[in-house]
Amino acid sequence: MKKLLILFLLVFNFLLSTSAAFAGEAKPLAEDPVLEARLKAMSHELRCLVCQNQTLADSNSPLAEDLRKEIRAQMRAGKSDQEVVDYLVARYGDFVRYRPPVNSNTALLWFGPFLLLLIGGFVLYRVLKKQAGSDDIQGEDG
């Protein structure tokens, strides 16, 4: 029984050590390294529509992989980066951009936080002014 266990362990160890010899280097998805560089740069500027807080480069979702394949296909067809982005924006809207442009549709997105900050500052000023006024009245009575 002991010999059988040792033989099994030796065969298992042999199989584990030789499997690395058969493993090849991963092939790039595109044969053209320039195209891959363009894709990588562009995928950092586009948002994963599923993850929403990740770029296409960071996301592992199936939709992100499909979008990367679509971008590759568009690039192979000879389209420029701007044409590819325009195609994706036409299909998915400005949300697909990680940094959407400033326009009438995205104005609230860009300027909303500042507007809320101003409103909050104004409300804080009014509350503090009211408290200071009531403290003055109470100080005169006491």
Residues 89 and 126 occupy one common structural domain: no
Residue located via tokens 């009531």: 134
- Please check whether residues 92 and 117 belong to one and the same domain: no
Q: What is the pLDDT of residue 134?
A: 74
Give every residue of the chain whose pLDDT is below 50, as ranges: none
- Residue pair 98/46 in contact (Cβ under 8 Å)? The answer is yes
What CATH code is carried by the domain that includes residue 71? 1.10.8.640
CB 48 within 8 A of CB 64: yes
Q: How many whole angstroms separate alpha carbon 75 and alpha carbon 35? A: 7
Look at the chain and report how many structural domains it folds into: 2
Residue 68 lies in a domain: yes
113 and 57 together in one domain: no
Domain span at residue 66?
A: 28-101
CA 116 remoteness from chain centre = 25
Same domain, 38 and 93: yes
100-119: per-residue pLDDT in tens? 888 888 888 889 999 999 99
The H or E element that residue 126 is part of is helix 107-141
Both 58 and 111 in one domain: the answer is no
Kindly report the pTM of this predicted structure: 0.58
Q: Is residue 58 part of a domain?
A: yes
The answer as to whether 64 is a domain residue is yes
Please check whether residues 55 and 69 belong to one and the same domain: yes
